[in-house]
Amino acid sequence: MIKIISEMSKATDYNQEKVVIVGSGLMGSGIGQAFATAGFKVTLVDLNSELLERARERIKDSLEFLSGTGLVTESSEKILDRITFATDLKSAAKDATFIEEAIFENLAAKKELFVTLDQESTSNCVLASNTSSLPVSQIAQSCKHPERIVGAHFWNPPQLMAAVEVVKGERTSDDTIQRAVSVLRKAGKKPAVVNKDVPGQIGIRILYAMIREATSLVEKGVATPEDIDTIVKEALGTRLEVLGPLELADLSGVDLVYNVAKGGLYKSLDSSEEPQKILREMVERKQLGIKTGKGFYDWTGSRNAESTIKMRDDHLIKILKERKESRAEI
């Protein structure tokens, strides 16, 4: 069993940062693991010891697996020693310098939590939310110091994904943005600043534009889900790993992009402001994807959640190993 304590360890990490993660679910434990692996002292906070015990086991299993791949060279015990598991939020927040919220995606709950964090933390502490869709400005709405509140959206699984969207709320200070970016870079992440607090930030907006168009193509009978996903993975995806859409636009020629868009393609793209009929009907039939066994695909046979997640993680690990080997050669 882990020992639950009510006060943060007084030890500081090599960067003199005191990182607190609020919420020990898949995202919170993964974010805590990422910081601890990078050398930070971390306090992981949740409501009770049972939740924290599950988080500890999840982190331990992940570290041991990554150690077997060669991506993690320190022992899991040494990394876990950098993580304090605590149930006393106020005590943890008192001398923190960077707090990352990773609770469930509910505006009211996040607003209430940030009021507490704002009150209990010091004036030099950055308060970050892992929200992927809620406006940072609304989360900070009831706080006395909204200038300290920023979005820091990690991607799942956070221990394997480098990108973090750093979102500037209406009253977030430039200093808070700079400090958040600095801490994340020290943790080995690749922060991208979102200068306007728009719904979905960068990645979710682009992803949902793709989902909307893909769903429309299925609904109109243009192609099957399998064939659409084949083109996305084997044509778009293989290039997007090294070239973003705007780099591809430059590579193709902005004049070509302009002419294709002007020539009628933009007008033909789906512009639905509401979810399409096919989505509504799937929800009504409880065809919700992996969680019910059927969505656009049947997930009850060889295509299942476990094998799909393993395939995703193996791919991410391969990318990380190639990057690590490339850096070692320089």
- Over residues 114-172, the pLDDT tens digits come to 999 999 999 999 999 999 999 999 999 999 999 999 999 999 999 999 999 999 999 99
Residue 9 has pLDDT above 50, yes or no: no
What is the location of CATH 1.10.1040.10 in the chain? 203-299
pLDDT over 90 for what percent of the chain?
A: 89
Residue 327 has pLDDT above 90, yes or no: no
- Over residues 216-254, the pLDDT tens digits come to 999 999 999 999 999 999 999 999 989 999 999 999 999
> What distances in angstroms separate CA 88 from CA 22, 153, 290, one per listed residue?
10, 24, 35
Choose the weakest-confidence range: 72-81, 177-186, 285-294, 301-310. Answer: 301-310
- Over residues 41-99, the pLDDT tens digits come to 999 999 999 999 999 999 999 999 999 999 999 999 999 999 999 999 999 999 999 99
pLDDT for the residue 173: 97
Residue 32 has pLDDT above 80, yes or no: yes
pLDDT for the residue 229: 97
Bridging pattern class, strands 41-45 and 18-22 = parallel
pLDDT for the residue 6: 36
pTM of the model: 0.89
Residues 219-246 as b/e (b if ≥16 CB within 10 A, e otherwise) read: eeeeeeeeebeeeeeeeeeeeeeeeeee
Give the integer Cα–Cα distance in Å for 249 and 312.
Answer: 27
User: What's the mean pLDDT in 190-214?
Assistant: 97
Residue 316 has pLDDT above 50, yes or no: yes
Residue 5 has pLDDT above 90, yes or no: no
User: What's the mean pLDDT in 180-208?
Assistant: 96
What is the location of CATH 3.40.50.720 in the chain? 18-194
pLDDT for the residue 329: 66
Q: Which CATH architecture has domain 18-194?
A: 3-Layer(aba) Sandwich (3.40)
Choose the weakest-confidence range: 190-199, 252-261, 302-311. Answer: 302-311
Q: What is the mean pLDDT of the chain?
A: 93
At residue 7 the predicted structure's pLDDT band, cuts being 50, 70 and 90, is very low
The pair of structure tokens assigned to 35 is 């910081």
Choose the weakest-confidence range: 124-138, 254-268, 303-317. Answer: 303-317
pLDDT for the residue 1: 45
Domain 203-299, CATH:
1.10.1040.10
pLDDT for the residue 10: 34
